[in-house]
Every structure is written in C-alpha cells, then in structure tokens.
Amino acid sequence: MKRYSKQAAGDAQRSCGGLPALLLLLIGLLPPVIAGAARAEDAPAASQGNVPAPANTDTDAVGKSWTLERMIEELKRSNPQLQQAQQAYIAAKFQAPQVDVLPAPQFSLLEQANTGGPFDFNRNSGFFAYPTFTQPFLWPGKQHLAGEIAKAQAEVVGRQYDGLLIQLVSQLKLSFYQLKALQDQLRFMDQDLQRLEQIKDVSKVRYANNAAAYVDFLNAQVAASSLENDRFALTKQIQQQVEQINNLLGRASQTPLDIAEADSSSPSLPSMPLKDLIELAQKTNPLIAGGESQIQAADKSVQLAHKAFWPDFSVSVGAYTDPSLVRLDRSRMYSVGVGFSLPTWGFRKEKAGLGQAQAVLEEAKAGQTSNLQQVDMTVANAYHGLETSLQQVKFTRERLLPEAQMAYRLALTGYGNNGGTAFSDLLTAQSSLHDTELDLIQAENAAVQAYISLAAVIGKDPAAAQ
C-alpha cells in the first residue's frame, strides 16, 4: 500500500457535528439505493410480461368442437409442464447478466477519536475519519467467459424446452388420432352389430320354416351379446383417451370434449431418402442443438479454468480527513492501493478445477456422439415403421377387405336362401369381416403414429422440409 500525504492549508478548526452530519448523509442515501435494488429485483418479473398467463379454459371449451390445431395452441398456452419448462428457460437467461458484470464495489468508513469514547461527539474529542472506496476486478477474460458459459447453459435449458414442446405436441397428436381410431372402431362395431341382428333375423325365419335349428338363433344372439360387451370396453378406452387429452390441455379430466372431424387421408412416405432425413434430424433436433450448447459451455469452462491460475486484483482509493467531508481542504492525506487475490499454494485447487473442466468437456462430447447415434436409430426405426404400416394399409384396403366383404355377402345369401352354407361358416365370414375392418383401422392409425414419431425426432414435419 502506497500513501501520498498532503498538508492541509492552515489550522482548520474541527467541527463537533461533522461526524453525525456524515452519518445522517449516508442514512439519507440508503433509501434511493434500496429502491434501486427493489426495481432491479422487479426487472425479471416485468420482463416476463410477454409470457402468456395460463387461462382456465374448462368452461370456455364446453360445447365447442376441438380441432387438432386448436388443441395444439391450447397446449402451448395452458399445459403446466410446458409452463414450468418455459419459466426455467427464462430464469436461466437471467443468469448471464448476473455474472458478466464487474464485482460489486465496497465502501468503508473508519472513525477514530483521539480522546473520549467512540461515540463522544464533544468538540474537543479530536475526531478523524478514514473513508475508503474499493473496486475488485477479475483477471482479464474471466468475466466475459463466465457470461458466455451462462448463456450457453441457458441455451441448453432452452433446447430442453423445445424438446419438451415437441414431445407434448406429438403426444397430443397421438392421443388425438388414437381417439379418432377408437371412434372409428366403435362405428364399425355398430355396423357389425347390425349385421349380427340381420343374421339373427335370417336364422329366426329359417327356424320358423323348419329349415334351421334354434341353436343357430342362439349362437347369433351370443355373438351379438359378446360384441356389445366389447363395445362397452371400447367406450371405456375412448373415455380414457379423452381424459388424457384433457390432461395435456391443462383441463380437468372429466371436462366434456367434442372432437371435430379430422383429415382422414393416410400419411405418405417422405420423398426425401432416409439418409437425408437422418442428416436433417441431426441438424434440427433440439437434443442435438442442446448438446452443441453443452459442448460450448464446457469448452468455455476449460478456458476459464486456465485463467484461474492468474490472480484477481482490486483498486482502492482512500483519505484521512476530518469528519466533515465536504471541505476538501481539511483532508490530511490521500491513499491509493492495489490488492491481489493469489491462487492457492501449489495451484492445487486450480489444477483440480482444470482437470474437472476438461473431464466435463469430454463428457459433453461423448454425450453428443451418443445423441447423434440415438437420433440416427430413432429416425431409421420410425421410417421403417412408416413403410411397414403403409404397406399393411394398402394390402388390407385393396385385398383383404374386399375379399372379406364378398365372403360375408356370399355366406349370408347362401344361408338365407338355403343354399347349403353352414351357420358356422356364416359366423366365420362375419368374424373375418369384423377383424379385417379393425385391422384396417389399426394399420391406418399405426401409419399416422409412425409419421408423427418421425416428425418428432426430426424436429419438424418432413413434408415442410422438402
């Protein structure tokens, strides 16, 4: 510490009220400082004003038909899990401004009384004051690197939010189309029940004409009752899908939900080859983008760990003066000092921190390689699943369903006209038609689910990327 003294001009008479006046001045400055700090604390909350507040849509949605697009918008606005991730991203972005700033300055005031006690404000007590202002500084580059690390880590949280959004939207789409498939199954089941009623009527007529046994009518009755039992189980599955959709929309599970008619066209295979789809996914998938940000943060941490071997420092400015600080000519001495915060002995802490940062960087790189492989396999599996489902849809619609319909019509006609068709053959034809119709619905639903899964892992609709 170096000191430079200056003799005050003349014998200045000390004022007994100087120190109390100084204390009152400092106390008067506290409210504006505290108010400024309060405004700084309110700044994050104010910046969040752009985030839409969750709306209670339970009452607004009743009696309205929900399209898939409207559901997606409602999910983005009201899903609590998504809101939690969004607020986590906002909070993470406020971390960078907190670290990319100069350390807080320090001010100290030392009071000395030559005679009397420390609170003896008598004129003849001989008070002196030692005000000191200190500003700490980090070694050049540390502050900027800390800010860059915080920004990269915030982007990792942001990409997690993007991934969660894609996941929830995909889950909503899957539930939506699963609900539509179950409703289609229910409709076809009602048609199948009408066919069984028709078989019952035919068997009853044949029994009245002594052309068939009463057991045929009973078997048709049993088949119809079994179908009604299956219909009850299917209704419960529909209710469960409605409850799941309501949960995704942030609504009460028992809220009525009226689904609008959806596009019934089957998805098609993307025109882009599988190799190009994999490359696209590795560029647009939020998991990959988050891994890149994680590598950036880890690399900056290694650079910061290298700078930890260099000392931080501080600059202080002080004075030795009368309690009344408004008169500079009463200052007896000025002081300027420089302090250093040195590394630990033998750099043990700094070496360990550097080793840790390098290990975290290698971990991030290995994790990114794993992410790329995972995306590669997921895209391939979804693509092949879509191929298989589309082939099943085509085969079932163009071959199996027409054959099953024809077999049922021939069996019903032959049984009703005493053409020699056995009742068991008629029930077999009816059951085969029923199973084929369900297979077609399930194959179409599987194709839709495979396409949604493919779009989710890519990070966007493959048709929009073409």
- pLDDT digit string, tens, across residues 217-244: 788 888 888 888 888 888 999 999 999 9
**What global pTM score does this model have?**
0.76
**8-state DSSP, 141:** T
Residues 207, 282: one domain? yes
Q: Report residue 422 as tokens.
A: 């056995």
Residues 217, 334: one domain? no
**8-state DSSP, 115:** S
Q: What are phi and psi of 4, to 5 degrees?
A: -125, 120
Query: Does residue 280 contact residue 265 with C-beta atoms inside 8 Å?
Result: no
The pLDDT assigned to 193 comes to 85
Return the amino acid letter for 369. Answer: T
> Residue 248: which of 92, 452, 30, 73 has the closest Cα?
73
The H-or-E segment that residue 136 falls in is strand 127-137
The pLDDT assigned to 327 comes to 53
CA angle 361, 366, 369 (to 5 degrees): 130
Distance CA 43, CA 45 (A): 5
Q: Report residue 459 as tokens.
A: 């990070």
Residues 325, 367: one domain? no
Residues 93, 202: one domain? yes
Residues 78, 221: one domain? yes
Which residue has better confidence, 212 or 84? 84
Q: Which of 100-114, 118-132, 294-308 has the highest mean pLDDT?
A: 294-308
The pLDDT assigned to 24 comes to 38
Residues 384, 415: one domain? yes
pLDDT (tens digit, 9 = 90+) per residue, 170-194? 999 999 999 988 988 888 888 888 8
> Residue 189: which of 239, 222, 229 has the closest Cα?
229
Distance CA 313, CA 255 (A): 63
Residues 123, 261: one domain? no
Pick from 299, 324, 342: which residue ends a domain? 342
Distance CA 136, CA 450 (A): 59
Mean pLDDT of 65-88: 92
The pLDDT assigned to 39 comes to 41
Residues 366, 261: one domain? yes
Please state whether beta strands 258-259 and 65-66 pair in parallel, antiparallel, or not at all (unpaired).
parallel
pLDDT band at 210 (very low <50, low <70, confident <90, very high): low
Residues 271, 412: one domain? yes
With a cut of 70, say whether residue 27 has pLDDT above it. no
Return the amino acid letter for 427. Answer: L
The H-or-E segment that residue 293 falls in is helix 286-307
Domain that holds residue 251: 54-101+141-308+348-465
Handedness of CA 446, 452, 454, 456 (dihedral sign): negative
Mean pLDDT of 40-61: 42
With a cut of 60, say whether residue 38 has pLDDT above it. no
Domain count, the chain: 2
Pick from 342, 361, 385: which residue ends a domain? 342
With a cut of 60, say whether residue 260 has pLDDT above it. yes
With a cut of 80, say whether residue 416 has pLDDT above it. no
Mean pLDDT of 336-351: 92
> Residue 456: which of 170, 176, 175 has the closest Cα?
170
The H-or-E segment that residue 145 falls in is helix 142-208
Residues 2, 94: one domain? no
Residues 297, 253: one domain? yes
pLDDT band at 22 (very low <50, low <70, confident <90, very high): very low
Q: Which residues face 336 on adjacent strands?
A: 2, 317
Q: Count Cβ atoms below 10 Å from residue 317 Cβ, excluding itself.
A: 13
CA angle 27, 31, 35 (to 5 degrees): 155
Residues 296, 261: one domain? yes
Pick from 289, 318, 342: which residue ends a domain? 342
With a cut of 90, say whether residue 90 has pLDDT above it. yes
Phi/psi-derived region of residue 259, left when phi > 0, alpha when psi is between -120 and 50, beta in every other case: beta
Distance CA 225, CA 241 (A): 25
The pLDDT assigned to 108 comes to 92
> Residue 188: which of 407, 405, 415 has the closest Cα?
405
With a cut of 90, say whether residue 278 has pLDDT above it. yes
Q: Residue 156 sits in a domain of what CATH number? A: 1.20.1600.10
